[in-house]
Amino acid sequence: MKTINIKTIRTDGGTQSRVEINNEIVTEYAEAIKAGAEFPAVVVFNDGVDNWLADGFHRFHAHNQAGKTSISADIHQGTARDAVLFSFGANGTHGLKRSNADKRKAVATMLSDAEWAEWSDRKIAEVCGVGHPFVAAIRNPEVATKQQSNREISAAKKTKKVESDSTTPTKSEPAKAESKPAVATASVVTPAEEYTELDAARDQIEGLQDALAVANIGSADPEEAAQAKNLIAELRAHIKTLEATLKAVKISRDGFQNQVVEMQRQINRQRREIDKLAGTRTA
């Protein structure tokens, strides 16, 4: 790393991989530089004549705005093309976070290049600091759309199966009682608690709500959208399981309450019998 004259750095070689420069960030950085803050060195590639800026555009413009004539630079030997390639993965782990548009621009630029387009999705993803499904979706949008549709169908089937399993009533063991036949049937699941057309309609509405939620993600890349879709499906299935468990608990509670009522009735009957035999009233 060394300090070089800021005027020797070139920024016109297509090495800026972001969609645009955030002027508010540049001003914020410039104010910090004027106050004495020190920023990490920018990255440049020197081809023997020119220094091509590959990483640190906001810092570069901030130094200019702050009136600085020099800047700390990490210098690599290479051409403007080398600087462009390096820039695709810049800010992946530091600096101003890249937007999805920034990521798409980097991947799209590589795919539009005759040499880089021959690289595998995984290699391009590694260079750009994104997931390989993201690259595949940009390279083959029709295939990606079909795969996404298949994933949604598979997730829907899985969710439906979990919902069906969780809403299938389980047979309750008869309560052990000597002379309480009414209690023995207290915990039996009634037809009203089975999966009805109303439940099916509710599930369809929830499915539409899920699809709308994923559609509203909009700016998210396909990989993030797929993850959101799967997460929604998993949460829906978990909710169904919890609802089924809660329903079973309520049924069991009602059964115990019925048992208590029946036992209280038996106690009252026995007290009346005792009163008749003793000719007195029990406490």
Could you report the per-residue pLDDT of 112-133, keeping only the tens digit for each? Answer: 999 999 999 999 999 998 988 8
User: Do 129 and 199 fall into the same domain?
Assistant: no
User: Do 1 and 73 fall into the same domain?
Assistant: yes
**Mean pLDDT within 250-276:** 78
Could you report the per-residue pLDDT of 133-158, keeping only the tens digit for each? Answer: 899 989 888 765 666 666 667 776 67
**Residue in 117, 137, 134 with CA at minimum distance from that of residue 125:** 134
Q: Do residues 68 and 33 lie in contact, with contact meaning Cβ atoms separated by under 8 Å?
A: yes
Could you report the per-residue pLDDT of 192-236, keeping only the tens digit for each? Answer: 344 445 555 566 566 666 666 656 655 556 666 666 666 676 666
Structural domain harbouring 26:
1-97
User: Do 202 and 264 fall into the same domain?
Assistant: yes
- Give the per-residue pLDDT at 279: 74
Give the domain-ending residue among 139, 170, 203.
139
> pTM (2 decimals)?
0.52
Q: What integer best gives the mean pLDDT of the chain?
A: 77
Q: Do residues 262 and 182 lie in contact, with contact meaning Cβ atoms separated by under 8 Å?
A: yes
Q: How many whole angstroms separate alpha carbon 259 and alpha carbon 254?
A: 9
Alpha helices in the chain (DSSP H): 23-34, 57-65, 80-87, 100-111, 121-128, 132-139, 141-167, 181-184, 197-217, 222-278
- Give the per-residue pLDDT at 24: 92
User: Do 135 and 153 fall into the same domain?
Assistant: no
Question: Structural domain tally of the chain?
Answer: 3
